[in-house]
């Protein structure tokens, strides 16, 4: 194995509370009720547009709300966002052996912002929503592999959602399901996952055995 691709929200970082704060500011600006933390975690995973579609009532102007949310979240100080336990130390050890990338459905400007804040200099490629269709379309994952100079079969995709599991399969990559994130083991298994991580540090052993 030559490279590891990571989802971001729910895999590397717990971002739900900052996403909820910006989302609720947008909803309030348009006169709609707020969403809970549980709802936010359920809505995350398919990109900002899908997040807004899930949070808005039927008939709402999704485009206008999406533009508002993108501005609010991109300028967020990410006060509540935190790396999951063991992420920072494990990433530094993995970086000694493998090329590392982030492939997320988060807007590019927001992805760049949080990665620069929490993982400066760690990743060889950070890709968000914009140039490629959102996951589970595999084109962005395949492009990341190209940037990392690794064949898809030599890549491990790590994510907490069913979207990530399907992306990995379509891209011809191996997949490891992160059980500390926003989806359950059952949800990941139903999407085809067979390898799971209880802790982020489990990735080292999974990589060694791949």
Q: Which residues are catalytically annotated?
A: 7
Other C-beta atoms within 10 Å of 184: how many?
13
Q: HSE of 163 in the Cβ direction (CA atoms, 13 Å)?
A: 27
| Cα 99 to Cα 149: distance, rounded to the nearest angstrom | 9
C-alpha 8, offset from chain centre = 3
DSSP 3-state of 3:
strand
Mode of pairing for the β-strands spanning 125-129 and 155-159: unpaired
């Amino acid at each position: 194995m030559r490279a590891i691709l990571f989802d971001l929200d729910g895999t590397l970082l717990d971002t739900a509370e900052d996403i909820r704060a910006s989302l609720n500011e947008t909803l309030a600006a348009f006169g709609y009720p707020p969403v809970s933390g549980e709802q936010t975690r359920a809505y995350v995973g398919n990109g900002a547009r899908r997040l807004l579609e899930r949070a808005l009532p039927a008939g709402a102007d999704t485009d206008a709300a999406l533009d508002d949310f993108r501005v609010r979240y991109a300028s967020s100080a990410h006060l509540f966002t935190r790396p999951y336990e063991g992420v920072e130390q494990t990433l530094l050890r993995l970086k000694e052996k493998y090329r590392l990338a982030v492939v997320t459905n988060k807007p590019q400007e927001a992805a760049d912002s949080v990665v620069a804040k929490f993982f400066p200099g760690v990743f060889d490629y950070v890709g968000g929503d914009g140039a490629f269709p959102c996951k589970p379309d595999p084109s962005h994952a395949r492009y990341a592999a190209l940037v990392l100079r690794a064949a898809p079969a030599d890549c491990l995709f790590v994510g907490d959602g069913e979207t990530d599991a399907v992306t990995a399969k379509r891209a011809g990559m191996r997949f490891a399901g992160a059980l500390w994130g926003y989806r359950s083991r059952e949800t990941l298994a139903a999407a085809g996952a067979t390898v799971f991580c209880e802790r982020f540090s489990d990735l080292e052993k999974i990589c060694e055995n791949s």
